[in-house]
């Protein structure tokens, strides 16, 4: 499973929309290692997820004069956070 997807924009677009925290997806093999019960995990996901930012990016892209590229993180930031360095 890729941790991100790239939605191509117009070849001439210099813009990339980055959507790092919209996903709530946690693969089963990762979920099995988490100590939180389901209710606590849902509460944590509610806090950690930037809900609907993927939809906002898509709507913005669809209304742009030149369609930008979109890079979406497909896993929850609890699994991988593309805005964090490995040692942070």
Give me the tens of pLDDT residue by residue for the chain, a chain 88 residues long.
789 999 999 999 999 999 999 999 999 999 999 999 999 999 999 999 999 999 999 999 999 999 999 999 999 999 999 888 777 5
Q: How high is the pLDDT of residue 60?
A: 96
Structure tokens of 10? 């117009």
CA distance 56 to 61: 8
Q: Give buried/exposed letters for 32-57 (b at 16+ CB in 10 A, else e).
A: eeeeeeeeebeeebeeebeeebbeeb
Q: What is the pLDDT of residue 88?
A: 57
């Amino acid at each position: 499973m890729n941790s991100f997807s790239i939605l191509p924009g117009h070849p001439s677009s210099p813009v990339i929309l980055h959507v790092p925290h919209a996903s709530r997806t946690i693969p089963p093999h990762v979920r099995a290692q988490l100590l939180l019960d389901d209710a606590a995990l849902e509460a944590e996901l509610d806090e950690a997820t930037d809900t609907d930012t993927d939809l906002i990016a898509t709507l913005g892209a669809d209304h742009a004069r030149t369609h930008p590229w979109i890079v979406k993180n497909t896993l929850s930031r609890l699994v991988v956070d593309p805005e964090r360095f490995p040692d942070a």
